Amino acid sequence: MNVRPHTAHSHPHPHPHMARPGESAHHATPDWLLMFRKFMRHGTSIASFTPSSRFLARMICKGIDYDKAQCIVELGAGTGPITKELFRRAKPHTKLVVVELDPDFCKRLRARFPHADIVEGDAAKMDELLRERGISQVDHVISGLPLPSFPAPLRDSIIASAHRTLGPDGTFRQLTNMPFVYWKLYKRYFTDVRFKLVPLNLPPAGVYVCRGYRETAAVV
């Protein structure tokens, strides 16, 4: 879930890339332990020492019109809890692109979602990665990256890259494990920032839903 310094009811029409029963690979290292090791090794380039809970995954995916969504991009998928929720909700016509830099996370994601488009790449080059796939516009970007911990120029590049591909009604959705703390930070980049608290996550977490990129967004 990093870049360089840079349940619920079954889905009635499962997405074609969603893992079926028996497709999930069995891993020697549990997700939580893999995340913890990565967090200890890479520190602020990893969003959390544990995978996102199902409560957080549901919240960040909530409010998207999946009947209309043609393309959704996830940045920093880690071990895939949000990816799983996206595939559960998305309709067959929706293209899902998952961008993750860490090769170990990518390996696990590909085993867990064998037919998904898992891109081992830099989130700051998201628009280039999408162009390579013939995608010029996306409906929503879901970020699990610890953007506040990144150097400001890298954070600027990632958000600007997302802006260049988002449609006029698109949203940039950012998870956080520090509720309310970074609202002013995201207001520097977007005109409309709304926060949704997820108290059942451990630790308590939340989601910023952002719209209206500020062309004059600058590091303060």
**Structural domain containing residue 107:** 54-213
* Tally of structural domains, the chain: 1
Evaluate whether residue 76 is within a structural domain. yes
pLDDT in tens, 132-187: 999 999 999 999 999 998 999 999 999 999 999 999 999 999 999 888 999 999 99
Evaluate whether residue 91 is within a structural domain. yes
Q: What is the 3-state secondary structure (H, E, C) of the chain?
A: CCCCCCCCCCCCCCCCCCCCCCCCCCCCCCHHHHHHHHHHHHHHHCCCCCCCCHHHHHHHHCCCCCCCCCEEEEECCCCCHHHHHHHHHCCCCCEEEEEECCHHHHHHHHHHCCCCEEEECCHHHHHHHHHCCCCCCEEEEEECCCHHHCCHHHHHHHHHHHHHHEEEEEEEEEEECCCCCCHHHHHCCEEEEEEEEECCCCCCEEEEEEEEECCCCCCC
Evaluate whether residue 196 is within a structural domain. yes
Evaluate whether residue 200 is within a structural domain. yes
**The pLDDT of residue 10:** 36
Evaluate whether residue 37 is within a structural domain. no
pLDDT in tens, 22-37: 344 445 776 555 565 6
CATH of the domain at 137: 3.40.50.150
Evaluate whether residue 45 is within a structural domain. no
> What's the pLDDT band for 8 if we cut at 50, 70, 90?
very low
